[in-house]
Structure 1
């Protein structure tokens, strides 16, 4: 699993950054056939992007951006990634309103007790999970929980592996993979 990130101060188009990250990844992996063709990205039924080239059937990716930060996670199996800017200032009332609307009871209770950081840690895990599944916001976010009954972050949600995203930028982040205990092998600021 490879993670590419960028401080996108110039507000480059996400599609262009994605193609740049995919080409960088293809060069790193020696995927000549991919490098010699135009990258065609389409969207699935719920909006999850995928690569159209038959030679890339086993290359999956997920992107996320917040403020000036952009990330792309690439792997051989389905993945999802989400980041949220740590400097974003949502009021406590707004956070609780969002949590009431989208979080399970145990998640809502954890946010009430522990506050903003817990809210964001739950949110990025839920987003990474639905991105990995490809369901997007068509999935009822209250139908699953990112924490267990003791308030600890789950390592798996409905059979998918979910973990914190280690990045040297000020974001909350999580990633999700269908592969058990998949680890990010390479992180690169490009």
Structure 2
């Protein structure tokens, strides 16, 4: 599976278009103007393709993943996302609260959880606290910390991950 990381991504889009389509438009352009649509839950897919796609972004970085094998989900956050129980307590399972107490960063827990929900197509919902992103499941979740970012990738299959940064630098993660 290939993961593409685009720094300063907002400067590479047509800002005269609506902000909610910036990521889609940039990805379509980078992939050769493929047709990308979203299902009723907002999960993206490439029309008439056997490839699976998902993406995430923050103010500076856009990251997207392509897999030929199966469903994928990806999330990106700054690596120092602060846990605030009042704001985020409802999303955590008791196992994840224990992980926080043991030193796992909130960025890791949050990105794992969101990557799983993107992979399954559920998206953020009120039942997020019902499952642990660390429980044994049929999906594989990998988390990487790089460039002050926390990136979690969820896939149906345990695949080698190649991260391509602006198409110039490549990192392999197993």
Secondary structure class of the residue paired with 1:165: strand
Q: Deviation at 1:87?
A: 5.7
- Indicate whether 1:62 and 2:41 are aligned: no
* Structure having the larger proportion of residues in helix: 1
Higher CA-based Rg: 1
Task: Give unmatched runs, 5+ long, in structure 2.
Answer: 14-21, 168-174
Q: Which residue of 2 aligns with 1:101?
A: 90
Q: Which residue of 1 aligns with 2:19?
A: none
Relative to the length of structure 1, the TM-score reads 0.73
- Indicate whether 1:165 and 2:144 are aligned: yes
Q: Deviation at 1:158?
A: 2.3
Q: Which residue of 1 aligns with 2:166?
A: 189
Return the alpha-carbon distance in structure 2 between the equivalents of residues 185 and 119 of structure 1: 24
User: Is the 8 Å Cα contact of residues 5 and 64 (structure 2) preserved in structure 1?
Assistant: yes
Q: Deviation at 1:140?
A: 1.8
Return the alpha-carbon distance in structure 1 between the equivalents of residues 124 and 76 of structure 2: 16
Q: Deviation at 1:134?
A: 0.9
* Structure having the larger proportion of residues in strand: 2
Q: Which runs of 4+ in 1 moved over 4 A?
A: none
Task: Give unmatched runs, 5+ long, in structure 1.
Answer: 24-37, 149-156
- Indicate whether 1:2 and 2:2 are aligned: yes
- Indicate whether 1:85 and 2:64 are aligned: no
Secondary structure class of the residue paired with 1:158: coil
User: Is the 8 Å Cα contact of residues 116 and 133 (structure 2) preserved in structure 1?
Assistant: no
User: Is the 8 Å Cα contact of residues 130 and 139 (structure 1) preserved in structure 2?
Assistant: no
Relative to the length of structure 2, the TM-score reads 0.79
Return the alpha-carbon distance in structure 2 between the equivalents of residues 110 and 166 of structure 1: 17
User: Is the 8 Å Cα contact of residues 21 and 72 (structure 1) preserved in structure 2?
Assistant: no
